[in-house]
Amino acid sequence: MSFQNVRHLHFASPAIRTKPMRSVKSLLAAGAASLISSMAFAADMPIAAPPPMYAPPAPPADFGGWYLRGDIGMTNQSAKSIDSAASATFPTTTAGLGFDSSPLFDVGVGYRFNNWFRTDVTGQYRGKSNLHGSQSLALGPADVEANTYTGSKSEWVVMANAYVDLGTWWCVTPFIGAGVGGSYNQLSSFQDNGVRYTGGALSNSVTYFDTNGKWNFAWAAHAGLAYKVNPGFTVELAYSYMNLGDASPGNFRAFDGSISGPTTIKVKDITSNDIKLGVRWELNSPPAYVPPPLVTKG
């Protein structure tokens, strides 16, 4: 082979080697274009939502429920008058009529319809309260009688109540309410110590009365504050105005047996201002939500 032929082959070989490299560049350019096009298409596609995470269940709707209640408190009682056959006939002056304070206890069952309205039925025992009072009667120009009354009174009260809760702030709920029912008012150890001045002569008498009770229509008005300790337990501080009706002692007899018979005495319009501390237990309160434990994969 001549020198010219060898030189010709030497200079021809680079051209031959560049042809495969152009093919590689073309392939790389086409791949890059395809990748850019795929990225642009993917950018236009909606992003898939992340997998749902566990969420606590929605709280159940408040449809109320049954509850039990109990109260303790103190009474502050009074009466309008003490009436008798003599007081209905002659001018009468009454002084110092009233009762000492006494404890009260009640239990009941109720139903809460929603966060605003609830009702309950209660049975209440009001402990013995000492009665005191005096009465003077002008029987004639020179005939005056004075009577001092003592005794004790207790009641059993059954009441149906309705309440309106006025919203809750910092777990405290003010409320108002009203109730109607019956009160069994019992007078015991009732005694009339009398002094009579007639025409310059003074005489004393003591009359005893049997224990007696009677049912009366009763009504009440309530107001107070309730504090929800937890979803199933509430504490109440409440005031109640109670109208308990009348009370009468039983048959009377004089200490010397000179007179006896059915009583004509009646203690009229007994009312009371009560302060109570109470609790309520919800019987079907929803359980508190407890989140599930965290699970980690290692």
Which CATH number belongs to the domain containing residue 234 in this structure? Answer: 2.40.160.20
pLDDT of residue 27: 55
Number of independent structural domains in the chain = 1
Report if residue 27 sits inside a domain.
Answer: no
pLDDT of residue 251: 95
Report if residue 157 sits inside a domain.
Answer: yes
| Residues of the chain predicted below pLDDT 50 | 1-18, 40-43, 288-290, 295-296, 298
pLDDT of residue 257: 84
Report if residue 40 sits inside a domain.
Answer: no
pLDDT of residue 256: 85
pLDDT of residue 28: 53
76: containing domain: 65-242+266-282
pLDDT of residue 173: 96
Report if residue 203 sits inside a domain.
Answer: yes
Report if residue 79 sits inside a domain.
Answer: yes
Instruction: Give the number of other CB atoms < 10 A from CB of residue 99.
Output: 22
Report if residue 260 sits inside a domain.
Answer: no
Segment 269-280, tens digit of pLDDT: 999 999 999 999
Q: What is the pTM of this model?
A: 0.72
